[in-house]
């Protein structure tokens, strides 16, 4: 069975390149490293990201909104990159999530093969599942 690096070498040859030329010698290793990072969201856990706090949530029943969260992901159909912004809103009940955790949640789902519609549902469901939020909403806009 060919190694992962051999597969990238084969891809380069299929594209008409010489994987042994000076500029491409280290490319298979670099490509594998990049893809491991770009797909690292599969190894992340929403429950660990969404640490909640009771302090500050008492008698709070207004919308918490974090908008314009930038993301870069890869389309599952072509594995091509796409990017955009996500807006998240939720109404807490008894506990809140730090705004930085919402950014990390977006990153977790963006670092997977993705479509923006599924990503928005995954973000909202994770908030519903791991917090006591009354209402959760997420929308992603690809640019």
65, 131: one domain: yes
96 shares its domain with 126:
yes
Residues 6+ apart with CB under 8 A from 110: 41, 71, 72, 73, 119
Helix, coil or strand: residue 62: coil
Q: What is the pTM of this model?
A: 0.90
* Residues 33 and 12 placed together within one structural domain of the fold: yes
Contact 87, 116 (CB under 8 A): no
DSSP state of 75: E
| Residues 97 and 130 grouped into a single domain | yes
Q: Are residues 136 and 78 in the same domain?
A: yes
Please give the average per-residue pLDDT across 108-132, as a whole number.
94
Q: What is the CATH number of the domain that holds 82?
A: 3.30.1130.10
Sole residue written with tokens 């992603």: 140
Mind listing the pLDDT tens digit for each residue in 52-90? 887 777 777 788 899 999 999 999 999 999 999 999 999
User: Same domain for 135 and 85?
Assistant: yes
Residues 12 and 72 both lie in one domain:
no
Whether residues 32 and 85 fall in one domain: no
Q: CB within 8 A of 11, min separation 6: which ones?
A: none
**Percent over 70 (pLDDT), the chain:** 99
30 and 57 assigned to the same domain: no
Q: Do 20 and 55 lie in a common domain?
A: no
Same domain, 72 and 138: yes
Full domain range(s) for residue 75 = 45-142
Number of H helices, E strands in the chain: 5, 6
């Amino acid at each position: 069975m060919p190694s992962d690096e051999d597969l990238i070498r084969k891809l380069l040859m299929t594209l008409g390149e010489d994987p042994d030329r000076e500029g491409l010698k280290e490319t298979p290793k670099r490509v594998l490293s990049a893809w491991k990072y770009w797909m690292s969201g599969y190894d992340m856990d929403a429950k660990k990201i969404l640490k909640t706090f009771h302090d500050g949530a008492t008698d709070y029943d207004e919308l918490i909104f974090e908008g314009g969260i930038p993301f870069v992901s890869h389309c599952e159909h072509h594995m091509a990159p796409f990017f955009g912004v996500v807006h998240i809103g939720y109404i807490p009940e008894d506990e809140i999530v730090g705004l930085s955790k919402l950014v990390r949640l977006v990153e977790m789902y963006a670092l997977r093969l993705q479509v923006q519609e599924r990503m928005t549902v995954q973000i909202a469901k994770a908030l519903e599942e791991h917090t006591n939020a009354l209402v959760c909403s997420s929308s992603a806009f690809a640019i």
